[in-house]
Amino acid sequence: MDWKNQVILITGGTGSFGKKFTQTLLAEKQPKKVIIFSRDELKQHEMQVGEFNHPSLRYFIGDIRDRERLVRAMHGVNIVVHAAALKQVPACEYNPMEAIKTNIMGTANVVEAALDAGVKKVMTISTDKAVSPANLYGATKLAAEKLTVQNNAYAAGTATRYSCVRYGNVVGSRGSVVPLFLKQRESGMITITDERMTRFWLSLDQGVKFVIDCIEQMEGGEVFVPKIPSTKVIDLAKAIVPNAKINIIGIRPGEKLHEDLISDDEARHSVELDSMYVIQPAEATWFGYSWKDKGKPLPDGFTYTSDNNSEWLDIDGIKKFVAPFEELFKQGKLEG
């Protein structure tokens, strides 16, 4: 795939993922143009006057709730990476209609505007919380996945193709537990909801590179799931604050003990490759089923959950993941 001739639009481009994705594209792929689409003028300004003043960059103020603005922004765009979302679980629980308007209706606007604008590829960024969701955020991301994948049915007679990437917690991203634990380190007291809790983990670099790889390989209709390690949240706390006092505060509404990346129902139409799983569309009414010839089928009853994972990070492994954020935290540059 020749990235140098591509025009890419990133919804939520001022977020943790959007900035790292933009930085990686400019450094490694040199695309023709990258459009940052977001609703926060201050964050766009901070990007422009900071490290993101590259001549290939364009900044569009807009909200994914505004379909007309999306159509305008997507004019001449080849690839859309849809990363905009309300993602804080408690905020989504308290403001359910806002989560629905952004994560569901906003995604509908993105996929429909892309079809009208003749965009070639749309990749929606999803989350492990979309699998068997226990909270509204997860439910809205499940709906976003369904909207994205199913839009291939409307696009089958065109060049537009839609896929999703689904992965776990991103270490050090905005709103993650790493900045929280680093702040709590000053008091020596770490709060954990349940000592049994496990999570999937990957770095922002890994997430970005996985998305780029999947954009290059996508045919439309797939949900791509990387093979990533699990960690115990209590081990994460001990890695950041070795002698911390642990305060168990109880599991919060909508929170799971363990996260899922592939359910047993999805496993029946998924295949395993060396570094990832590919969930093929449940109904092969259009395309996206040629992956069965590239990977091996999963065994009956297979699930991919953070507690049954074959790959784990121990405390030393976690320290290596967290080390870059230690320095950012000291410099006051780590976003909470």
DSSP class of residue 56? T
- Residue 325 confidence (pLDDT): 77
Q: Are strands 169-170 and 198-202 parallel, antiparallel or unpaired?
A: parallel
Q: Which residues neighbour 330 within 8 Å (Cβ) at sequence distance 6 or greater? A: none
Q: 205-211: long-range contacts at Cβ-Cβ below 8 A with a sequence spacing of 24 or more? A: 205/20, 205/24, 207/17, 207/20, 207/167, 207/170, 208/17, 208/20, 208/21, 208/24, 209/24, 210/165, 210/167, 210/276, 211/21, 211/81, 211/123, 211/125, 211/165
- Within its chain, how far is the Cα of 72 from the centroid? 25
- Residue 286 confidence (pLDDT): 64
Low-confidence ranges of the chain (pLDDT < 70): 172, 174-175, 284-289, 327, 329, 331-336
CA-nearest of 224, 203, 204, 214 to 313 is: 203
- Within its chain, how far is the Cα of 22 from the centroid? 14
Superfamily of domain 3-168+202-227+260-304: NAD(P)-binding Rossmann-like Domain (3.40.50.720)
Q: Domains of the chain: which residue ranges? A: 3-168+202-227+260-304
- Residue 333 confidence (pLDDT): 62
| Longest CA pairwise span in the chain (Å) | 60
Q: For 174, phi and psi rounded to 5 degrees?
A: -60, 125
Among the listed residues 87, 129, 232, 256, the single catalytic one is 129
**Predicted model pTM:** 0.94
175, two tokens:
């709103």
Q: Which residue has the tokens 């001549």?
A: 55
- Residue 31 confidence (pLDDT): 97
Residue 33 is a catalytic residue? no
